[in-house]
Structure formats: C-alpha cells, structure tokens
Amino acid sequence: MPDAVRPFLDVHHSLTGRTWTNRLDIATGRTAAAIAQRSNISEILARVIAARGVTLDDAEKYLEPTIRGLMPDPSTMTAMDGLADRLARAIVDNEAIALFGDYDVDGACSCALMVRYLRHFGIEPQVHIPDRIFEGYGPNNAAIDKLIDSGASLIITLDCGTTSDDPIAYARGRGAEVLVIDHHLSDHELPKANALVNPNRADDISGLGYLCAAGVTFMVMVAVNRALRQQNVPGLPDLLKLLDLVALATICDVVPLVGLNRAFVVRGLEIARRGDNHGIQALALAARLSGPINPYHLGFLIGPRINAGGRIGNAALGTELLTVDNEHHALAIAARLDELNAERQRIEVEAVEEAAAVAELEIGSGEGPPVLVLASANWHPGVAGLIAARLRERFERPVFAIALHPDGTGTGSGRSMPGVDLGRAVIEAVERGLIAKGGGHAMAAGVTIKPGQLGPFRTFLGDALLNQVSSARAKTALPIDAALTARGATLDLVHDLERAGPYGSGNPLPIFAFPAHRAKFVQIVGKGGHVSFTLTSEDGARLKAIAFRAANTPIGQALLRNPDSAFHFAGSLSIDHYQGREQVQFRLTDLAKPST
C-alpha cells in the first residue's frame, strides 16, 4: 500500500472508530524536507506548515505574519470608500453617532473598537446592544427610536444589519443615516443603508469573507484614517494598539485562522499581554489565568465570560467592560460576568443532558437524521448555541437547539461541521418562508420560528444538507502530523510549534502520535469528568497528560480499566503554567490498540 494511503501506525480502527492517516502525502513530505533545509527550522515544524499548504517560497513569511505584509487595500471591499468618507465626515463635524451591536464576543469587540476609535476624536457614541430574549438579533424599531430621540443622526450597525431591511428603512425614514459593518451571509436583497460593508455580500470580490466583524471593523478604521489623513486631520489614532480586541473576536467567532486573521491574532496577543485593556486584564484575573494570554485563554476562558452577559444577563456588559478605562470599574464588571458565567455553566449542563437524551432517542440504533433539530420550552435561549455545540461534537452532525417561548415561537442557534454550510441553508429557509427569521455563516447560524414551522424546517434541513453531511461524516480519518516520544515532547518543541500558530479553524492544531506508550496514575479529575494520567515511554520518560470530558467515553474507559497497558496515543501538545513554571502537557484526542 502506498505511503499516502497507508494508515499511520497501521491504525485502521481506533477506539473512536477512526483511521489514523498521515497528514502529509509523499509530495508534501518532500516539500517539508526542503523547507527544513532552506529555512533552517526543525523537521517537525516544517512538516506542520507544509501539511497546511505552505510552499517552500512562502515558509519564512508564513512563520512571521505581519499586518503590513498581509493587509490588503481596504478599498477592495465593496462600498468601503463611501462608508469611510461618510464616517470621516461625521468625525470632522463632531456628529452625534450611535452604535448598534450584537450580543456576542464579536459584536462586543466590534463596538468596543468603534467606541475607542471615536473617543480619540472626542466623540462619545451611544451604544445599544439588544437583549437576546426581548429584542433578538439585529436592529429593531424601538431601539432605533431610542437612539434617534437621544440625538443620533448617524447609526452604525456592527456585526449585524445585513438582513435588517425593515429597521434600516425605518431609521432612514426618521431622517437618520445608517452604515452597516458586518460579515454575515447575505441574501440577494440588501437593505437600503447609506453604505454597507460586508465581505460576504454577493457583489464583494475582495476575498476577505473569512474576517469576523471586528476584523472588518478594523479594516473600516484603516480606511477612515486614510480619508482623514487626506483631509489633513492631525493626530490620528494608532490602530495597532486596538488589535487585542480584533484577536479576541477572531478567536471567539471561530473564523478561519488564515491570512490576515493569523496576523491579527499574533499581533493582537502581543498587545493583550501588555495589559493595556483593563477589561481584558480584569477578565484574565477573574478566570484565574496562568501564564501569558494565549488563544486558548481567549477562546475558552475570557470569551465565554463576555458571552455570559449576552446569554443570561445584561448584554451590554461585554462592550462596557472592553471600553472602560477605570481599573476598579473593570474589575467590578468582570466579577459580575464571572458570576453570570458560573450560572450559565449550571444552566448549560442541565439543558445539555436533556437535549442529549432526546437526541439519542431520535437517532436510535441507526444513522438518524443528518441534522438534529431539537426544541424545548425548558431551555434558556441564551444557552441554545452551547447546547448545539456540545451535541454537534457528541453526535458528529449539525445541530440546532431551539428554545420555545410560551406563545409558541422559538429562537435558537445551530452549529455545523466542516464541509456543511449551515448559514446558506438557513437563508434559503427564510427565502422559502419556512422560518420567520435567520442568518449566519457556514459554521453557525441563528433562527426565529413561528408556531407550526419547526417540522417543515427540520424536514428542509435534512433534505438540503443530506449530501453535505454524508460527505463530511465519511471523512472520519484522524490526520497525524508526526510521531513523537514522551522524551521528545519538550518545551523547546512546543515553543517552536507556536510559530506556525495560532491554531484553530482553518489552521488545525498539530496532532502527534505516541506509539506504544503507557498511561500511569490514571484518575478522574474535575467536575467535567476529565481523565488525568501520565504518559510514559519505554525509556521511562514521562509526560503530563489529560483527556477532557472523557470519563464516560471509550477512550476514558480504556484508560481507567487497563492501567499500564500499551496503547498508541494521539493528541496535541500545549504548555501548562503552574506556579510560574512551564510544563508540557499532552491533550489526548484518540487511542488505539497496537496491531499484533
């Protein structure tokens, strides 16, 4: 069997049912060898970047992503020049500006970026973040009335607005002008805003559709700075100082970590580690972070706390925290968000248990539906997306979780899997009149349904996405970047691998195989059923290891019931900071019995 298709370590069927494959085919392996030789980097790092499509000529530039080298001309985005000129005029004229954002991290960061930018010019904008339950997503007439009655003549929507035809028409009918800055997928008819910048609108050919809303907002500010410079406006703000907010949104919105996004995160992490933003620092303290802020901290510790305000508390807390300049005020808001996040976790656990039980009944003993569409009157609307995410991971298919209200309507969120465009399917459902409202992007979407629409929506999604889901689920192989030993998993190696990061959507975390190693000191730790152990090699080398939420899975049970047995281990490496000391940690992804 050729190397390109031979299972890695001859693992045809792991304990999770996957075949292990070599992420590098023969040609890519040759590229990796050439990169290692020319760029004078380790063979492991060369394998990792070659497997992600980096060519020999681009390797050195890839390992040092810069804003200057990757920033395109903002004018390549449709309607950018018109929007930038209008905002520049508002700044020069000291116009009354209002911002309308979304209640998630991307929306909070986008609003915070614009607030901090406008403050530099002495403008304190009104900010409205809608209540998830009572207002829903996007602009609404009542909120627009409030903003205009308070004096706003220019309204800027951030991370929303692309599908808000009626509210935008209402605002303009009242004499306000509206600028839309967004990244969500659009239908064919765009609202009649004064300008709408969205790299995912049908007539935009910039190729920047992978940006989150905060990334688009940053591009807008670059364009506005240019417009103001042309008018000889002095003392323009240093936009690079705001990249910590862009990095936070880019990680939390799970957009592809490619191209400009990689540069945003790399530079943004440097800014975040300086501690300039009191809000981010306060959340880091509340989350009890150890070590320098990294992408994991942003995505799994800081981001969820910001989201908690929009899910079950005051949706405006996130934006307020990220724009506050008083350290004590920031600590107070962060403490409140930390409390809300703990409550969110409790609500989520109960809801996920209920949803999982329903899903198992729906799937039964067969394949089940290609898309799970679950609904309950017991679920808090703020945790619908989290329910969907947990079940998507468990059942390996797209999931919608819909919270039903007493009047029979429902609001919910969906989470998809690579290769399945959920946002496009939702927009088609809206166009067909199957649901009241909806939108999103490939990996996540939100919907509003009316009584009687749940069944037709479920049927439509199953039919529309059947082929995409079947194809995506057929790709059950686990790509392995290289084989290592516990002794070879050093701090130097992990720091070296960080040069190819940040890792996430579009830039997968490297997965390494540890052949014929053993697990010692296996135990269940934490409330989430994590399995902690020490990975040991034949030569006695040891590596701290953990399998998250694995206690009741085949992997966890194999470790607990077969202590000290030899297995092939597959997973990723990270650095654990404990009491100021760095230590390599192995995070288990899969386990396989060595072939006899």
- Cβ neighbours of residue 120 closer than 8 Å, sequence gap 6 or more: 237
Query: 441 and 482 share a domain?
Result: no
Are 252 and 301 in the same domain? Answer: yes
Residue 53 lies in a domain: no
Q: Where are the alpha helices (DSSP H) in 241-326?
A: 243-252, 259-274, 278-286, 295-297, 303-312, 317-323
* Average pLDDT over every residue of 1-10: 68
pLDDT of the residue at 415: 95
Same domain, yes or no: 285 and 419: no
Cβ-proximal residues to 2 (8 Å cutoff; 6+ apart), any chain:
26
440 and 385, same structural domain? yes
Cα dihedral: 112, 115, 119, 121 (round 10): 120
- Do 97 and 123 sit in the same domain of this protein? yes
Query: 403 with 537, same domain?
Result: no
Final residue belonging to a domain, choices 474, 509, 527? 474
Cα distances (angstroms) measured from residue 507 to each of 54, 351, 544: 11, 31, 25
Tell me phi and psi for residue 123, to 5 degrees: -105, 125
CA pair distance 342, 346, nearest whole angstrom: 7
At 168-212, the pLDDT tens digits run 999 999 999 999 999 998 766 899 999 999 999 999 999 999 999
User: For the chain, what is the mean pLDDT?
Assistant: 94
pLDDT average, residue stretch 447-460: 96
Q: Are residues 255 and 192 in the same domain?
A: yes
Q: Would residue 532 count as lying in a domain?
A: yes
Same domain (yes/no): 314, 380: no
- Answer whether residue 51 is part of any domain: no
Q: Which residues pair with 373 in a beta bridge?
A: 400
**Does residue 1 carry a pLDDT above 80?**
no
Q: Which of 440, 457, 474 is the last residue of a domain?
A: 474
Residues 280 and 156 in one domain: yes
Whether 434 has a pLDDT exceeding 60, the answer reads: yes
Q: Of 453, 474, 495, which marks where a domain is finished?
A: 474
User: Domain tally for the chain?
Assistant: 3
Of residues 16, 21, 17, 41, the one with CA closest to residue 31: 41
Assess if residue 61 is contained within a domain. Answer: no
* Same domain, residue pair 437 and 584: no
Do 468 and 491 lie in a common domain? no
Query: Is 409 contained in some domain?
Result: yes
- Rounded distance between C-alpha atoms, residue 359 and residue 346, angstroms: 20
Contact predicate 75/198, CB 8 Å: no
Q: What CATH number has the domain bearing residue 452?
A: 3.10.310.30
pLDDT at residue 579, as a whole number: 74
Provide the pLDDT for residue 56: 96
**What's the CATH number where 523 sits?**
2.40.50.460
* Rounded-to-integer distance, Cα 489 and Cα 482, Å: 12
| CATH number for position 202 | 3.90.1640.30
In this prediction, residue 225 has a pLDDT band, given cuts at 50, 70 and 90, of very high
Distance of CA 551 to the CA centre of its chain: 26
> Over the stretch 85-135, which tens digit does the pLDDT of each residue have?
999 999 999 999 999 999 999 999 999 999 999 999 999 999 999 998 888
Q: Is 37 within the bounds of a domain?
A: no
The parent domain of residue 273 ranges over: 69-339
Q: What does the pLDDT average to over 5-21?
A: 90
Q: Which two tokens stand for residue 470?
A: 């079947």
Residue 366: is its pLDDT beyond 90?
no
119 domain residue, yes or no:
yes
Domain-located, residue 297 = yes
Residue 482 and residue 470 share a domain: no
Total-model pTM: 0.90
